[in-house]
Amino acid sequence: MSTRSVSFEVLAVPPHHMDEARLGKLSCLGRREIETPSHVALSARGAVPHLSQDTVQNHTAIRGIHMALEDFVERAADKVPPVLQIPVDAHESRLRKFTATHQDSILILGPRHVPSLPCPTANTHSAVSIVTSIGFSALESAYYAEAIHKLKPDIALSMADVVDSKPGVKRKEKMGDRTQTWLKDLIAATEDSGENASGTAVFAPVLPIEAEEQSYYLDALDDDFAGRISGLVLYNTTSVLSIPDGLSYLPRMLTTDSRNPHKLLEAVAAGVDLFAVPFVGAATDAGIALDFSFAVQEPEPSNRILPLGIDMWSVAHHRAYVQHLLSAKEMLGWVLLQIHNHHIVDNFFAEIRQSIRYGSFHKDKESFGQRYEPELPEKTGQGPRIRGYQYKSEGGGELPKNTLAYRSLDDVEKLAEAPVPGPSIDAKDLEQQGFAEREEP
């Protein structure tokens, strides 16, 4: 395997080929093991959205957290970000200390968010384009490698030259050359010995193009980097077919191509081990409580297709409390939803592992596809305030993404002059006076 602190063991190998659903165990020194297939939580500026570090530790089963360096690059190029200035002991992780992440969780650091926003400028030979809190910028390979060395995450995802549109022939050649160079820079930084050793395991990218179009890069992974990387990062499910046989024992992490549970099952069937699942947080922000199970718990009418989630903005009376919290913009509403949605996905992967263990995965996958709708419910509520990393600015004249939280002083004075409403007042009158907004039944 790898000589680093991260190791992976395949527990159940498909009888015919490695590119099928498989069971595994991802271990990291001093952290809780992750049984695979499984998922890691996605973070925003060092925290799982809506959850404090204590809530993650005490009320969820999260064992791995993905963070993005572009969250912490927020100053001019000649300034050192605060995350790189925090004092630590020789073998202490700056990233873990800065974000107050519990010691049990595996920290995974990549260059960009999952999912990442498109940038107006293209990648260069030495840098990838990123979105920071102060606008668009470029993340140099040397800077990223140095930051990994100083931050000491458990796992570092190497930079990949991935484009949003379909690349041309010449562009594909550059993708492999650049990605290989950046991987070499990162490995050199993490292999520093002595007291300054980072102990960080490196996951190498597999580009989302055909194997023949990145054959030189894949050969280099198999021949030159095989003993120096601890895993692989995929950007689409079909990239599993491009993995050289000599690297089939490594864990495979999928960072895109998983917008709903059906896509997750397709990737599990292809042999993916670890997932970054954006729809968990997206469902929470949209006020949707995920509601699906891989195991068949009770018989359902053959003509009924079940939804993958419940829109908590318009639910029945027995869920009225959560609906009230969301309508009142109470933070507790999204906290409860986030805990619930992570619990649903944790159980989903636990049932997948049990199905693979019993040899019924493909049959159960087909049954799941017949029971549930193909997509998650559409968002109907406003949700929490939109953050900068969630959308791309289109330029001048753009309308605000968030509604005003406060009214003008004139509106407040009018409200103070209005009579106190009584029990018999009409809803239209309340709306005209500014006390509330009337909802249609």
Tell me the average pLDDT across 109-137.
90
Look up residue 213 and give its DSSP letter: G
Q: Give the tens place of pLDDT for each residue, 307-348.
A: 776 665 555 545 778 888 888 888 888 999 999 999 999 999
Give the global pTM. Answer: 0.85
Q: How far apart are CA 212 and CA 209, in angstroms?
A: 8
**Token code pair at residue 35:** 């049984």
Query: What kind and span of H or E run contains 136?
Result: strand 135-140
Q: Are strands 38-42 and 64-68 parallel, antiparallel or unpaired?
A: parallel
Query: Between vectors from CA 174 to CA 170 and to CA 176, what angle results, nearest 5°?
Result: 120
Nearest to 398 by CA among 386, 381, 383, 410: 386
Residue whose tokens read 């009579």: 419
Q: Give the tens place of pLDDT for each residue, 58-107.
A: 999 999 999 999 999 876 566 889 999 999 988 899 999 999 999 999 99
Q: How far apart are CA 254 and CA 232, in angstroms?
A: 9
Query: Per-residue pLDDT for 3 more than 50?
Result: no
Q: Could you tell me the end-to-end alpha-carbon distance of the chain, in angstroms, rounded to an integer?
A: 61
